[in-house]
């Protein structure tokens, strides 16, 4: 005898169960996204709440203090100046190097070499930043002492893959027709790159730079062994170690003193605001410049 047809009620029951199960899983997926966004919100809100009370003029006009006396917690003026200078040094190294690297691998390198460069950049991006700190310590700090230069070099190694990878991505987005048009006009390869391709991709390069600056400003591990001990004074000589916002936060979080923690929260608020604004602006600009390049196709 052939298999008896499954009774309709059983089919229905199974369908109901499958649908319910699907609903549950969809609910869980939605919940996961909610949790992620919720954690972002909680971190931002609690840093703002804890940091705001100390966010006053003193924070920006006084230098760091280690006296621990209540009311003398000081500010982070020297740390802000230090972070700005060291990030500038890092970007001054990583930006040209990264852009040149991207031009080489997108315009000149044979496919195999370009692939090796891409793999190397990905590997470099995956190297723990603390290991980069150990590397630069041995390379530049041993024998010379802590300095803003050494910190800048360490941060530039963190930035390099960020700049190079996203610049290469936009360069590859530039339509081949523009390249051919440049050559057809009799321009040399170099001239085409400089006058046609780079201007088309400049938006993407600016974006990459903003993201890289935001990344470097918030990095702590590469600073620990390059500018870890600093003066409670404004330092502008790059051969000397400088204070930095991330290290002030790090030390504040390790300190039992409420004053130090208070300053750390305020510094965290300043850093978080800067980094989040930088990353969001970077993202928005990147979407816009991508759309513009795609329109030239």
Partner 1 sequence: MATETPIHTMPLAGRRRRRWGDLALRGITGLAAVVLAALMVMLVYEVAHQAWPSIQEFGLGFLTSTEWNAVTDQFGARDLIWGTLITSLGALLIAVPMSIAIGVFLSELAPRSIRAPVTTLVELLAAIPSVVLGLWGILVMGPFVAEHIEPFIIDHFGWIPFLDGYPSNQGLFMAILVLTIMVVPIVASLSRELFTNVPSDMKQGSLALGATRWEMVRSVMIPQVGGGLVAAVMLGFGRAVGEAIAVTQVIGGANVRPHNIWGPADTMASRIAAQYAGTATSLQRASLAYLAVVLLVISLLTNLAAQLIAARIQRKMRGHA
Identify residues 224-243 at the interface with partner 1 (CB under 8 A). 224-225, 228-229
CB of 207 to partner 1, least distance (A): 14
Structure tokens at 252: 């504040």
176 near partner 1 (CB under 8 A): no
Q: Residue 181 interacts with partner 1 (CB under 8 A)?
A: no
Instruction: Kindly tell me which residue out of 90, 154, 155, 193 binds partner 1, with binding defined by CB under 8 A.
Output: 193
Dihedrals phi, psi of 74, to nearest 5 degrees: 75, -170
Q: Of the candidates 16, 52, 92, 130, which one interacts with partner 1 according to CB under 8 A? A: 130
Q: CA-CA distance, 136 to 154, in Å (whole number)?
A: 6
Per CB under 8 A, 285 contacts partner 1: no
Which residues are CB-contacts of 97 (< 8 A; sequence separation ≥ 6)? Answer: 156, 160, 163, 164
Binding residue (CB under 8 A) for partner 1 from 249, 263, 266, 293: 249
What is the spatial distance between Cα 158 and Cα 148, in angstroms, rounded to a whole number? Answer: 15
Footprint of partner 1 on 69-98 (CB under 8 A) = 97
CB distance 150 to 141 below 8 Å:
yes
The answer to the question of residue 14 lying near partner 1 (CB under 8 A) is: no
Number of H helices, E strands in the chain: 12, 0
The yes or no reply on residue 252 touching partner 1 (CB under 8 A) is: yes
Q: How far is the CB of 115 from partner 1 (least distance, A)?
A: 9
Contact with partner 1 (CB under 8 A) among 239, 253, 288, 294: 253
Dist. CA 19–CA 32, nearest whole Å: 20
Rule CB under 8 A: is residue 220 a binding residue for partner 1? yes
């Amino acid at each position: 005898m052939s298999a008896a047809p499954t009774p309709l009620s059983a089919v229905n029951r199974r369908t109901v169960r499958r649908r319910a199960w699907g609903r549950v899983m969809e609910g869980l997926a939605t919940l996961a996204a909610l949790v992620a966004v919720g954690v972002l919100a909680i971190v931002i809100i609690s840093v703002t709440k804890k940091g705001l009370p100390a966010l006053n003029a003193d924070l920006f006009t006084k230098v760091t203090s280690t006296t621990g006396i209540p009311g003398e917690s000081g500010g982070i003026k020297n740390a802000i100046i230090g972070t700005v200078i060291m990030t500038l040094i890092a970007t001054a190294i990583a930006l040209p190097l990264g852009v040149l690297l991207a031009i080489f691998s997108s315009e000149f390198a044979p496919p195999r070499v370009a692939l090796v460069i891409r793999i190397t950049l990905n590997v470099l991006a995956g190297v723990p930043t603390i290991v980069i700190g150990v590397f630069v310590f041995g390379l530049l700090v041993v024998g010379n002492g802590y300095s803003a230069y050494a910190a800048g070099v360490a941060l530039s190694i963190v930035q390099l893959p960020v700049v190079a990878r996203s610049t290469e991505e936009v360069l590859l987005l530039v339509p081949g027709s523009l390249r051919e048009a440049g050559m057809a006009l009799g321009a040399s390869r170099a001239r085409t790159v400089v006058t046609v391709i780079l201007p088309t991709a400049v938006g993407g390069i600016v974006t990459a730079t903003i993201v890289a600056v935001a990344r470097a400003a918030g990095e702590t591990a590469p600073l620990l062994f390059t500018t870890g001990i600093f003066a409670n004074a404004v330092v502008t000589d790059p051969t000397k170690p400088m204070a930095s916002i991330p290290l002030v936060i790090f030390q504040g979080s390790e300190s039992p003193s409420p004053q130090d923690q208070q300053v750390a929260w305020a510094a965290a608020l300043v850093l978080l605001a800067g980094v989040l604004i930088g990353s969001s602006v970077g993202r928005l600009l990147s979407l816009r410049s991508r759309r513009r390049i795609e329109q030239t196709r």
